[in-house]
A and B are shown apart, each in its own frame.
Chain A
């Protein structure tokens, strides 16, 4: 006897059930974990609402300009969010369609490829877009409150956002399928690279800083503002989906319901058209792409000169590689420790998600610090110079804290999984942990110290202050790495292979919270203990007191967990 079930509904039901149970399991894991998550979520919503509300009110106070600035801000925000959503959908869509075990499982079942694509499309859209709604909710609430809009504004906005997220998702999934299908084609690679570099060069040229002098700021404010706003006009290009969303929201808030309805209908028609195409015409291409992804030898296979080069390479050479040769320079380090360090460096380098995130996080911070030179006119007051320097120190440490929690904390758990290799070697677990601490600290110190020195240089700080910040960031780098390594040993998780899952447990959350608290307290202590702000250091008696507290805190949070962790290793059982 045959029944008639809709496979898409079955997949939706089963995956909703899975998601619900996953959510429930967070509560069962540890009350500390979900309390921290709840505090962070509510804290973000409250704080961002407060900031947006104040910011919008502040902007509204500019006579004749307030409305224009708020309007442009919304257009810009949605334009950039559209670009980010597109990128997010592309990355998540590609992984979800072609690097997902559920997809392979479903492909062998009597489920059409169109249905599989539909389900994966829905899943990717939700995964890529939930954060977007979460991020902009406080802004839209603050905007509505500032404008005193009626209740139906919020409902319409919610509906419009629901429509809006479909378009970058459709575009992202099509790009992902095209990438899967044609990535090994030389023409596709050349066009994609040209477009990417062209886009970057265009953005760099368009957004290059305007030379604005103090007299111009004092006498010709409107001209300067006009020049700045001209740079943001692209956000009001009428064929951008973000334009339809912004225009719909703005018109509705102003009571221009007919104009707003027009934009709602434009958005709706595009969503229906492209959504229909995606839901009915992509299954076949998706299967072709799936097969292509699994079938290719490598994405550079079609470059004949590369293939020829590979063929011409001599036979496998068993002699040490350049990394081993370079590490030999550290003659005081034992050879087994050097082997462990070489292995860790290789694993980090070959896991693109690891250095990719590091590169993005610190790259953005570096780009911001380098651009500080354009504010040399504004940063003449010592108060602002100091404030920016401390903020830079805080930002640098916060970046480092996310990385130590994400990458250093799970190291011991991952090594425990490979215990038969490293754990049973004569090296011993204690030395292994110490080697990991030394490697993580020295590697991250190169970045944090470099960024802080660059920040001081851009802010034209004297040598003594540069030394002060360099010493501070060095201590913080060692403390944050010690905390991550120590807690990693104290709260191991040998069941998981995936570092991100190890981090999401109790120990990882605890590590992140402690790191953030340590940074907040340290930056305040250092600011109070600054020898150049005598008045404020009086709070703590003297700058030396502040530094002593800072050092004691760093020892307590950095050295102590590491020490306890190493002691625990002596009676460690797997």
Chain B
């Protein structure tokens, strides 16, 4: 569903993503972890097609993001860490607009919005201007708008930013349910608990390289550290990425 083939992205002299090779299957919940400036957000931006890779290929639902961008984006949903929303619109107007951009029929937009708004407790806010909403409510609006067209691939950068525990639970549940129904979820996060609880597989990036990849047990084996994911993460990211990459299996 999401395939990164020898992906490289350079910003001048800095190599933000360095030869990443990864395949995330249909219906898989994948979490990308890594310290600050590891290259996670750049990888996500490359998947969303916001920038061109220096070399390598990104495929979403079988479509090359650079060569067949519209086909790929039709199947993709992307929620950045600080999503853009039209401030003077109401959440309902924004949802309808997003649905229309995805060429959804009005009846389908209404049905999907009704279901998701109820699930994310957005009903009291649907007719209020977005500019007056709290950070968490705006995040929920962004997530609902991304889920509206029933994407095949859902890419989200820091999904829990600004969400209270109740709504964080809702997001986790909805994403897990959707992944069980076949939606591929690609999450970048610093919250190890999210990855530990939700992810089928976890990738750890460090200095632009994917230094570890696999299930929690795979990662424990690779790091040699037993116990919680935090210990595994700290053990892996403390290593030199050049050395650690040898341990990472090719996906």
Q: Interface residues, chain A, CB within 8 Å of chain B?
A: 1-5, 7, 10, 14-15, 17-18, 21-22, 25, 101-102, 104-105, 107-113, 287-288, 290-291, 294-298, 301, 307
Contact = CB atoms under 8 A, between A and B. Distances in A.
Nearest to B11: A297
Given A1-B107, A288-B52, A297-B14, A7 B101 contact: yes
A108 B101 contact: no
Contacts of A17: 88-89, 93
Given A5-B103, A290-B51, 15 more contacts: A2-B104, A14-B86, A17-B88, A17-B93, A18-B89, A21-B88, A108-B73, A109-B73, A109-B101, A110-B70, A110-B103, A113-B69, A295-B11, A295-B51, A297-B12
B107 A10 contact: no
Contacts of A2: 103-105
Contacts of A288: 52
A17 B74 CA distance: 25
Contacts of A290: 51
Contacts of B104: 2-3
B199 interface: no
A110 B104 CA distance: 12
Contacts of B102: 109-110
Contacts of A18: 86-89
With most chain B CB atoms within 10 A of its CB, the pick from A10, A15, A107, A110 is A110
B146 to A, nearest CB: 9
Contacts of A297: 11-14
A295 B73 CA distance: 21
Interface in B12-31: 12-14
B108 interface: yes
B121 interface: no
Majority secondary structure, A binding face: helix
A101 B73 CA distance: 18
A321 to B, nearest CB: 25
B100 interface: yes
B50 A1 contact: no
16 contacts: A2-B105, A14-B97, A15-B86, A18-B86, A18-B87, A18-B89, A107-B48, A109-B98, A110-B73, A111-B73, A112-B69, A112-B70, A294-B51, A297-B12, A297-B14, A298-B12
Contact of A107 (B50, B54, B89): B50
B12 A3 contact: no
B250 interface: no
Contacts of A105: 83-84
Contacts of A5: 100-101, 103
B84 A1 contact: no
B84 to A, nearest CB: 4
Given A17-B88, A290-B51, A10 B100 contact: yes
Chain B interface category by residue count: 35 or more
Nearest to A3: B105
A15 B87 CA distance: 11
A107 B65 CA distance: 11
A105 B50 CA distance: 9
Contacts of B14: 297
Given A298-B12, A301-B13, A1 B105 contact: yes
A18 B97 CA distance: 13
Nearest to B80: A104
B49 interface: yes
A108 B73 CA distance: 6
Contacts of A25: 88
B13 A22 contact: no
B131 to A, nearest CB: 9
A406 to B, nearest CB: 23
Nearest to A23: B88
Nearest to A21: B88
B169 interface: no
B12 A301 contact: yes
A7 B103 CA distance: 9
Nearest to A184: B12
Nearest to B155: A108
A104 B103 contact: no
Contact of B101 (A101, A110, A287, A296): A110
Contact of A108 (B12, B50, B106): B50
A288 B103 CA distance: 26
Given A108-B78, A294-B50, A10 B12 contact: no
Nearest to A310: B13
Given A3-B103, A291-B52, A298-B12, A22 B88 contact: yes
A116 to B, nearest CB: 11
A295 to B, nearest CB: 6
A101 B80 CA distance: 11
A14 B103 contact: no
